[in-house]
Amino acid sequence: MLYSAQIRAARALLDWKQAELAKASKIGLATIQRLEKGQGLVNAHVSTVVQIQTALEKAGVRFFGPDEQGGVGARLRR
Protein backbone atom coordinates (compact mmCIF):
# COMPACT_ATOMS: atom_id res chain seq x y z
CA MET A 1 0.00 0.00 0.00
CA LEU A 2 1.02 3.58 -0.59
CA TYR A 3 1.05 6.55 1.73
CA SER A 4 -0.31 9.93 0.65
CA ALA A 5 3.11 11.46 1.31
CA GLN A 6 4.71 8.96 -1.08
CA ILE A 7 2.41 10.02 -3.91
CA ARG A 8 3.19 13.70 -3.29
CA ALA A 9 6.92 12.95 -3.09
CA ALA A 10 6.88 10.84 -6.25
CA ARG A 11 5.12 13.59 -8.19
CA ALA A 12 7.67 16.11 -6.95
CA LEU A 13 10.56 13.87 -8.04
CA LEU A 14 9.05 13.64 -11.51
CA ASP A 15 8.09 17.34 -11.56
CA TRP A 16 4.52 16.30 -12.43
CA LYS A 17 1.38 18.25 -11.72
CA GLN A 18 -1.60 16.38 -10.30
CA ALA A 19 -3.23 16.48 -13.74
CA GLU A 20 -0.24 14.67 -15.24
CA LEU A 21 -0.53 11.89 -12.68
CA ALA A 22 -4.26 11.69 -13.29
CA LYS A 23 -3.67 11.25 -17.02
CA ALA A 24 -0.84 8.73 -16.61
CA SER A 25 -2.78 6.62 -14.12
CA LYS A 26 -6.20 7.06 -15.74
CA ILE A 27 -7.59 8.18 -12.38
CA GLY A 28 -9.73 11.29 -12.03
CA LEU A 29 -8.03 14.52 -10.98
CA ALA A 30 -10.43 14.97 -8.06
CA THR A 31 -9.47 11.52 -6.77
CA ILE A 32 -5.75 12.32 -6.99
CA GLN A 33 -6.36 15.58 -5.11
CA ARG A 34 -8.36 13.82 -2.40
CA LEU A 35 -5.81 11.05 -1.93
CA GLU A 36 -2.90 13.46 -1.69
CA LYS A 37 -4.67 15.51 1.00
CA GLY A 38 -4.84 12.48 3.26
CA GLN A 39 -2.44 11.42 5.97
CA GLY A 40 -1.02 7.94 6.34
CA LEU A 41 -2.05 5.06 4.12
CA VAL A 42 -4.05 5.96 1.03
CA ASN A 43 -7.74 5.30 1.59
CA ALA A 44 -8.90 4.05 -1.81
CA HIS A 45 -9.83 0.92 -3.72
CA VAL A 46 -6.87 -1.37 -4.27
CA SER A 47 -7.26 -1.04 -8.04
CA THR A 48 -6.95 2.76 -7.77
CA VAL A 49 -3.78 2.51 -5.70
CA VAL A 50 -2.31 -0.03 -8.13
CA GLN A 51 -3.00 2.25 -11.12
CA ILE A 52 -1.33 5.21 -9.42
CA GLN A 53 1.65 3.19 -8.23
CA THR A 54 2.10 1.56 -11.63
CA ALA A 55 2.06 4.93 -13.44
CA LEU A 56 4.64 6.38 -11.07
CA GLU A 57 6.86 3.29 -11.25
CA LYS A 58 6.74 3.31 -15.06
CA ALA A 59 7.96 6.90 -14.90
CA GLY A 60 10.95 5.82 -12.81
CA VAL A 61 9.94 6.03 -9.15
CA ARG A 62 10.72 3.34 -6.56
CA PHE A 63 8.72 3.14 -3.35
CA PHE A 64 9.97 2.05 0.06
CA GLY A 65 7.88 0.94 3.00
CA PRO A 66 8.64 1.61 6.64
CA ASP A 67 11.55 -0.31 8.09
CA GLU A 68 13.79 -0.25 11.15
CA GLN A 69 15.92 2.56 9.69
CA GLY A 70 13.21 5.04 8.80
CA GLY A 71 9.81 5.80 7.42
CA VAL A 72 8.27 5.40 4.02
CA GLY A 73 9.81 6.98 0.96
CA ALA A 74 10.12 7.36 -2.78
CA ARG A 75 13.11 7.94 -5.02
CA LEU A 76 14.03 7.86 -8.68
CA ARG A 77 15.62 4.73 -10.07
CA ARG A 78 19.23 5.01 -11.07
Domains of the chain: total: 1
- Tell me the pTM: 0.92
CA angle 46, 52, 58 (to 5 degrees): 130
Average pLDDT score over residue span 55-59: 98
pLDDT above 90: residue 71:
no
Contact 56, 21 (CB under 8 A): yes
What is the extent of the structural domain holding 43? 4-76
Q: What separation in angstroms does the CA of 57 have from each of 25, 43, 69, 75?
A: 11, 20, 23, 10
CATH of the domain at 61: 1.10.260.40
What is the arithmetic mean of pLDDT over 54-66? 95
- pLDDT given at position 68: 72
pLDDT at residue 65 above 90? no
What gap in Å lies between CA 47 and CA 55, rounded to an integer? 12
